[in-house]
Amino acid sequence: MRQLPVMGVILGSIAGLMVGCGDNSTPAPIKPGGIVPGQLAAKRAVTRLFRMIQLEERDRAFRMLDDAYQPILGSLQTLDASSDRLRKALDTSGHGSIAAMLKQKRLTLAPGYIEIVAGDPNCLELKADDKNAVVKVEVALPDGKCKEAWASMTRKEITWKVKLPLANGPDAKPGGPSPSETRAAVDKAVAGMKPVIDDLAGRLEAAEMIEESVIAEKLTTAARPLAAALQQMVYGETKTQ
């Protein structure tokens, strides 16, 4: 059976971290009277969130989001038992490359490449006090265009919690689905993914021979509605079909 080009997918994911509207490699030093340390964390919060999403660090990404998004994480976690079962079935049936990809990609559970965020945002401005912050960013949209947008956040203990989708102005409401609307879309996507994952696990456990390309295609196709819902959560729009 053909092996998936796992290293190609991994390298593609790493290369995706280098794409964006601006260079965020080395932040400028903070001058006296400039941004205080807590505010610097606010400025970096959006970039860190995007990177966690790109790396599919699901739980870490949702810890950086406003608490209103926690039910969405709960919905995603309902797939954990099924995905764990599938990974074990993949390992025992000689499909270790896909099993390794699923362990890494905790957000979409897609062996194929599905993009949710398009590179790092370039942070331009910050307005912050001890509890609230608004960050102006230049961001690459799903259609490849760049635009200026704003992310608001609130401080909870030592963590800045980001509110999504990105807004069109510093005082504007987010221009996309509410957390409850995103939850409904994610619930629907998860409901469609679970039987696909369980069916593949059952067939592999029964020693059925399935090509890795077929497994990858089924899982990636099933994950596209979920990726689209998450992309809308971030940008208020999607190009994932």
Task: Report, as an integer, the average pLDDT of 55-65.
Answer: 96
Position with higher pLDDT, 32 vs 173:
173
Q: What is the pLDDT of residues 7-30, one digit of tens each?
A: 344 434 444 444 456 544 334 443
Contact indicator for 201, 207 with CB cutoff of 8 Å? no
Q: Is 66 exposed, middle or buried (0-12, 13-18, 19+ CB in 10 A)?
A: middle
110-136 confidence digits (pLDDT tens): 999 899 998 899 999 999 888 999 999
Query: Does the pLDDT of residue 216 top 70, yes or no?
Result: yes
pTM beyond cutoff 0.85: no
Question: d(Cα 149, Cα 35) in Å, to the nearest integer?
Answer: 20
> What pLDDT digit, counting tens, does each position of 81-113 carry?
999 999 999 999 999 999 999 999 999 999 998
Strand partners, 162: 65, 153
Q: How many CB atoms lie within 10 A of CB 37?
A: 7
Can you give the pLDDT at residue 196?
98
CA dist 158 and 197 (Å) reads 38
| Domain residue spans of the chain | 6-119+177-235
Separation between Cα atoms, residue 217 and residue 211, nearest integer Å: 10
